[in-house]
C-alpha cells in the first residue's frame, strides 16, 4: 500500500539530526511544538495535517531518557488520533536496551516493556540502529528495520588511517562477534580484553588475548557510556606495548564521569555517531562525531517507497536524491491505472 505525502517530525531529543535528515530528503521538517506544562507534563501541538500521510518520527530515547521516551509515545498517539496513514518510529538510539533479560530474581525486562509501549501507542513500524542485542528486534510485535553503524565507521577508517599495523580490539568478551566482523571488513587481526565487572558501570581489566605489541589498536564497541571500559582498556593495551589506542562506537552515551575520563585518557581519538546529540561539554579534541543522517534518510526514502532496505545493512549511501512526494494528481493517476 502506498500512502500519501511523507512527513518527518521530531521531538526534543535530537532535532539537529532530524533537520539534517529532512534537508537531505528535500522536504521541510514537520511543524510541531513539544513543551511542558507548569506541572512538568509534556505538551504536544502538531501544527499541520497528517491525515493519510506516511509519518516518520525521529526521536532517540537518550538523556533525559524518560522525557524523550514520553515525548515519543505522546507524539505517536497524536499522529494516530490525527488519522496518519502509517507511523514509523525512527529511534536512532534505543534507550533501556541493556535491560533485556533478568540477571537476578525480580528484575524487570524493561527493553520489552518499552517495545510494548511504542507498539501500544500506535507505531506501525520501528527504524533503529545498533540495538545493544540484535535479539531485541523480537521484542516488538511490529516490523523493525535494524540499521548498523559499522559501514559509516568502516568508511571513515579506510579513508583516514593506515591499516598496516592496525588491530581491532574487543573491549570485552561480549563484543567479540562485532569486533571480528569489523576486523574482517578491514582485513586486520583482532584481540580481546578479558575483564571482570565488579558492579554496574565499573570494570577491572584482567587479561589481553592477542598480540598488540608494536600495533595501533582500535577498540570497537556499540556504545560508550561512562567510558570506564574504554579508558581502562586503553591503559591495558599500552601496558602490553601498543603504539597507540583509538576507540569507536555507534552510540556516544557519555554519562556521569565519561567526559572527564576521556579527557584524561591516553586515547588518541574516539569516534562516535550522532545518534545521540553531543553537547558542548563533550566537544573534546579527541572526540570526532560522524553523521548518520544520510543512512537514515535513505532508509526512510526506501520505506516510504516500499523498497528493500537490506543493502543498507552493509553499505552507506554516499548521497540521497530528494524524495518525490505524491500529490493529489499522482494519486488520481494511480487509481486510473488500476
Locate all alpha helices (DSSP H) within the chain, ordered by sequence: 15-25, 65-81, 110-121, 150-160, 176-186, 228-239, 258-264, 293-304, 328-337
**Contact (Cβ atoms closer than 8 angstroms) between residue 84 and residue 50:** yes
Beta carbons of 142 and 126 less than 8 angstroms apart: yes
Provide the CB-side half-sphere exposure for 84 (13 A, CA).
Answer: 26
Residues 6+ apart with CB under 8 A from 2: 306, 326, 334
What are the C-alpha distances in Å from 266 to residues 11, 219, 263, 285? Answer: 36, 13, 8, 12
Which residue in 124, 42, 53 sits closest to 90, CA to CA? 124
Under 8 Å between Cβ of 218 and 167: yes
Among the listed residues 100, 95, 175, 176, the one whose alpha carbon sits nearest the alpha carbon of residue 136? 100
List active site positions: 195
The residue assigned the cell 528484575 is 107
C-beta separation of 36 from 42 below 8 A = yes
Total residue count of the chain as it appears in this document: 338
Amino acid at each position: 500500500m502506498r500512502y500519501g505525502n511523507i512527513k518527518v517530525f521530531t521531538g526534543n531529543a535530537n532535532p539537529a539530526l532530524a533537520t539534517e535528515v529532512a534537508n537531505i530528503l528535500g522536504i521541510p521538517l514537520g511543524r510541531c511544538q513539544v513543551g511542558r506544562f507548569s506541572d512538568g507534563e509534556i505538551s504536544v501541538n502538531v501544527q499541520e495535517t497528517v491525515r493519510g500521510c506516511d509519518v516518520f518520527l525521529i526521536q532517540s530515547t537518550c538523556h533525559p531518557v524518560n522525557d524523550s521516551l514520553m515525548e515519543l509515545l505522546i507524539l505517536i498517539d497524536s499522529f494516530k488520533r490525527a488519522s496518519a496513514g502509517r507511523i514509523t518510529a525512527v529511534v536512532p538510539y534505543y534507550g533501556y536496551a541493556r535491560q533485556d533479560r533478568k540477571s537476578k530474581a525480580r528484575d524487570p525486562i524493561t527493553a520489552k516493556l518499552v517495545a510494548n509501549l511504542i507498539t501500544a501507542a500506535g507505531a506501525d513500524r520501528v527504524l533503529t540502529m545498533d540495538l545493544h542485542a540484535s535479539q531485541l528486534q523480537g521484542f516488538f510485535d511490529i516490523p523493525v528495520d535494524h540499521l548498523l553503524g559499522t559501514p559509516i565507521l568502516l568508511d571513515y577508517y579506510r579513508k583516514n588511517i593506515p591499516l598496516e599495523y592496525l588491530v581491532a580490539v574487543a573491549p570485552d568478551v561480549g563484543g567479540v562477534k562485532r569486533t571480528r566482523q569489523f576486523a574482517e571488513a578491514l582485513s586486520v587481526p583482532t584481540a580481546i580484553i578479558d575483564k571482570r565487572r565488579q558492579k554496574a558501570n565499573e570494570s577491572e581489566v584482567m587479561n589481553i588475548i592477542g598480540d598488540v605489541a608494536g600495533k595501533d589498536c582500535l577498540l570497537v564497541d556499540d556504545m560508550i557510556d561512562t567510558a570506564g571500559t574504554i579508558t581502562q582498556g586503553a591503559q591495558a593495551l599500552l601496558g602490553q606495548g601498543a603504539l597507540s589506542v583509538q576507540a569507536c562506537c555507534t552510540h556516544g552515551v557519555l554519562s556521569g564521569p565519561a567526559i572527564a575520563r576521556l579527557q584524561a585518557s591516553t586515547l588518541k581519538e574516539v569516534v562516535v555517531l550522532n545518534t545521540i546529540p553531543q553537547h558542548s561539554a563533550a566537544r573534546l579534541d579527541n572526540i570526532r562525531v560522524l553523521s548518520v543522517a544520510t543512512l537514515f534518510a535513505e532508509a526512510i526514502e526506501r520505506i516510504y517507497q516500499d523498497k528493500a532496505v537490506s543493502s543498507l545493512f552493509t553499505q552507506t549511501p554516499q548521497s540521497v536524491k530528494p524524495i518525490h512526494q505524491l500529490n493529489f494528481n499522482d494519486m488520481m493517476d494511480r487509481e486510473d491505472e488500476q
